[in-house]
Copies of this chain bind each other. A is one copy, B any other.
Amino acid sequence: MKKIFILGSTGSIGTNTLDVIRNYPDRFKVETLTVNSNIELLEKQIKEFNPSLVVVRNEKSAEQLKRSLGNSIEVLSGDKGLIEATRRNNYDILVSALVGFAGLAPTIEGIKLSKRIALANKETLVVAGELITALCKECNSELVPVDSEHSAIFQCLVGEKSPEVKKLILTASGGPFLHHSSESLKNVSVAEALNHPNWKMGSKVTIDSASMMNKGLEVIEAQWLFGIEKEKIEVVVHPQSIVHSMVEFIDGSIKAQMGLPDMRLPIQYALSYPERLCGYLPQTKLPEIRDLSFFEPDYKKFECLKLAYQAIECGGTAPCILNAANEIAVGKFLEGSIRFLQIPEIIKKALNAIENHRGPDINTIFDCDRQTREFASKLS
């Protein structure tokens, strides 16, 4: 029986994780749940899964929840509560499913306790890949990816030897704007950008998918997760999202992992690895899907993807700047204060303006993140 800590239990990954746990009550037990402010859904989750501890980041919502629950369960609050909870040694697997940079600090606490990290928060590796992978090694903590692409690669690598890997091939759906012209991207609406053809995800990730920044962040993540140079990571557009990603080996053989687009599969694998659990998920029938297609990505149209490769090239805090500027820009786009193509513009300005620090320690990364956010917030 594995005890599970979910960072971000009311988000898309969080609720899907709880659905997996619901189906394997003999294998997994919810120990801790954390939310930002959605205490209405959290109360339902508490009733069903009976955790021993919950954290509500928003202080007001935390107070409200305490009043509602009385003394039946321990409630912590704020970023301090989040850190305190992750430091308790009462869980086996930390599902790191906060959105954005906020996931970094609590994930580090899980690593320090040598826990398995089921990593859905890609920013952890994007902004602090070098530090995090070194810390994992030092603390003997295991990072198992939850992203469908990285889970696919992780699965394709089972039983294979890393020196025999020639290339990682990340598939990208291409998002809602795959067939739009560069020109028509200028005036797309928030609703259009949120209308992902295959995946139901949170709004930040969905916008990143539309701009293909999501794939850029995944390239950076893959670099650290699998210890491989960026030259060996390729992106291929695959609109059906059935092939979740591939590995090419030195002998020319390619292995792919496939399935219907359903986050519960990689989540379940991250919890059960190295075992596979008998599935309750819908079956993938290739003759019903019929066609799988593959294209080169259009780096000119999807400038964010190009910027991500450039950030890896620059190294140091460049990926942190890229990520922070993107988070701010996506927020602005979602609230309607900038247009879609201003997202890469803001990122470019930040990459040019903010100083790049080589081999940053964790404080430098936090400083860089804050500084970039301040800078990007002022742009429009």
Contact = CB atoms under 8 A, between A and B. Distances in A.
Interface of A: 155-156, 158-161, 164, 169, 236-237, 243, 246, 248-260, 265, 268-269, 272, 275-279, 281-284, 286-287, 289-296
A279 B158 CA distance: 21
Contact of A158 (B158, B275, B296): B158
A168 to B, nearest CB: 13
Given A159-B159, A265-B253, A289 B294 contact: yes
A160 B158 CA distance: 7
B236 A250 contact: no
B236 A249 contact: no
A31 to B, nearest CB: 23
Contact of A236 (B161, B164, B251, B286): B286
B286 A290 contact: no
A192 B239 CA distance: 36
Contacts of A281: 251-252
B256 A255 contact: yes
Contacts of A243: 256
Nearest to A152: B253
A135 to B, nearest CB: 26
18 contacts: A155-B253, A158-B160, A159-B159, A159-B160, A236-B286, A250-B278, A250-B279, A251-B276, A251-B278, A251-B281, A252-B282, A253-B258, A253-B265, A254-B258, A286-B294, A290-B293, A292-B292, A292-B294
B279 A287 contact: no
A255 B252 contact: no
Contact of A276 (B164, B169, B286): B164
Contacts of A272: 251
Given A251-B265, A254-B284, 5 more contacts: A159-B160, A252-B279, A255-B255, A290-B295, A292-B292
Contact of A253 (B259, B292, B295): B259
A239 to B, nearest CB: 11
A286 B245 CA distance: 12
A276 B296 contact: no
A275 B164 contact: yes
Contact of A249 (B160, B276, B291): B276
Top 9 A-B pairs, shortest CB-CB distance: A159-B159, A158-B159, A286-B294, A252-B279, A254-B258, A251-B276, A251-B279, A164-B276, A292-B292
A240 B164 CA distance: 26
Contact of A284 (B161, B252, B296): B252
A167 B254 CA distance: 20
Given A276-B250, A292-B292, A155 B287 contact: no
Contacts of A268: 251
